[in-house]
Structure 1
Amino acid sequence: MAKILLIDDDVELTGMLTEYLTQEGFDMVAIHEGEAGKQEALSGSYDLVVLDVMLPGMKGIEVLNRIRLDSQIPVLMLTAKGDDVDRIVGLESGADDYVPKPCTPRELVARIRAILRRLESSQHPDDKIVEGALTLWPKQRKAEWQGQQLDLTSSEFSLLEVLAVNAGAIVGKKELSEKGLGRPLARFDRSIDVHLSSIRQKLGNLPEGRSCILTVRGKGYLFVKV
């Protein structure tokens, strides 16, 4: 049974979501304030955090930033419907995915399960993937670049794994979304672009100065095979 931490100040909403997710087989804990939520998220007791952007006191993005200083626990953000700024800032701060509010409990469950499935499965669960300076251990969700450990979120690891497995070939955004994020590509969804921008920053450039992840306009992305 996966243990989920829900951080949201809307008591009525958290009560409804907690009841629904409990019926779906999750072990739920709800906290209504950012600082307490951050401390609880870092306790090591949870499999995933659902975090509202709009919180009293410490805002959701700040909570996420503080969590990411010490932990790569999957974080699913609840954002205002139509607010692209919150979504992009959340993803850039290390959120694994987002769900716009108001959301249906069914959609939230689907997103949570997609993230948890990525943690439990891999295209190559027992193998080490080596592509140039990149080494991935999918079973341990561990990554190294040029011998140095990479701190990747769950979504970043999954997207990088898909690209590395297909090194030298273009991978479309539709395939990246389905295999890397565990969900169909939504119209106007910029999640993949933001995640890959973060991955590029963490990897740095190849010796000749170019990125190892290329954008192929209108087609997708390519991990440079070296």
Structure 2
Amino acid sequence: MEQVVIIQDKNEIEVVLQQSKQFGLVKISTYSYRNFKEEVHLGFLKGCIVLMKSRALSEFIPLIMRIRRITEVPIILLVDTYDSYEAAICIEAGADEYVKYPIHPRDLSARIKAVMRRCYNEKFEEDRETVLKLGDISIYLDREEIYRNKMRIELNGREYSILLYLIKKAGIIVTREELMEVISVFKNKRLIDIYIHGLRTKIEELPNFPKYIKTIKGKGYRFETVYIS
């Protein structure tokens, strides 16, 4: 059963939701800000989180960020005054919706259903794809897209081919000559070093101290298997 977790200082939102017949099969759990412990209450949550903003933004944003570190379930914020600047900050912190309250029960329930449907449809599509997890790097092989910490990385065709070949040979030293064949370059071995440098700049947190693509002096390169999962 899907669950709606409500965090509020006053018991308002639960009453509003219970007026909607759509929530007969959805469990509603309500917590005050004082009693809410995200590590305990969100561990296995599948559903939606509704927050009633009744505190200063400086207290509110850290809560959103802590929740987002634990779970990817959608977060809807209810605010008494709409502020576009504040909305942008909250969404950047990890919120999915920023909505003025009071709101009609039917409208609130529709928003909750919509964000849950969108979230879990996206998760289903992601699960159907072939995804390589390399530490903080995710490679979506079906669409040839690469993300680092959920931010997309733009690789050119040769960089992408070299990276996939290194991963395929993970733990094994790959020579420059092998990589030249991969990208159909047959004259200048130094081009491989240029492409490796470009790859490191894009995928490594510290390009000068790479953790993924290691240089094996006098032999070539090796992709570290410890980061493959």
Q: State the TM-score, normalized to the length of structure 2.
A: 0.51
1:39-84: per-residue Cα shift (whole Å, max 9, x none)? Answer: 4542324421111232489933221111122222221111233211
Q: Which residue in the other structure is 1:17 paired with?
A: 16
Q: Which residue in the other structure is 2:106 paired with?
A: 106
Among residues 141, 151, 156, which one is paired with 1:203 in the alignment? 151
Give yes or no for contact 2:19–2:105 (8 Å, CA) kept in 1. Answer: yes
Determine helix, strand or coil for the equivalent of 2:49. strand
Give yes or no for contact 2:5–2:50 (8 Å, CA) kept in 1. Answer: yes
Alpha-carbon distance in 1 for matches of 2:136, 2:3: 27
Determine helix, strand or coil for the equivalent of 1:54. coil
CA shift at 1:90, angstroms? 1.1
Which protein shows a greater Rg? 2
Total equivalences in the alignment? 153
Q: Percent identity?
A: 22
Give yes or no for contact 2:6–2:28 (8 Å, CA) kept in 1. Answer: yes
Among residues 116, 126, 134, which one is paired with 1:138 in the alignment? 126
Alpha-carbon distance in 1 for matches of 2:30, 2:40: 10
Distance change in 2, residues 1:84/1:55 (3 Å): same
Give yes or no for contact 2:73–2:119 (8 Å, CA) kept in 1. Answer: no
Q: Which residue in the other structure is 1:28 paired with?
A: 28
Give yes or no for contact 2:39–2:70 (8 Å, CA) kept in 1. Answer: no
Alpha-carbon distance in 2 for matches of 1:56, 1:75: 18
**Within 5 A, what are the aligned runs for 1:47-62?**
47-55=47-55, 59-62=59-62
1:78-127: per-residue Cα shift (whole Å, max 9, x none)? Answer: 123321122111100011222221222211111111112124435x96xx
Distance change in 2, residues 1:104/1:46 (3 Å): same
Distance change in 2, residues 1:118/1:39 (3 Å): same
**Within 5 A, what are the aligned runs for 1:73-152?**
73-121=73-121, 138-139=126-127, 147=134, 149=136
Alpha-carbon distance in 1 for matches of 2:58, 2:40: 14
Alpha-carbon distance in 2 for matches of 1:138, 1:39: 25
Distance change in 2, residues 1:55/1:46 (3 Å): farther
Alpha-carbon distance in 1 for matches of 2:91, 2:31: 22
Letter in 2 for 1:48: C
Give yes or no for contact 2:16–2:105 (8 Å, CA) kept in 1. Answer: yes
Q: Which residue in the other structure is 1:4 paired with?
A: 4
Give yes or no for contact 2:52–2:78 (8 Å, CA) kept in 1. Answer: yes
CA shift at 1:7, angstroms? 0.5
Give yes or no for contact 2:73–2:116 (8 Å, CA) kept in 1. Answer: no
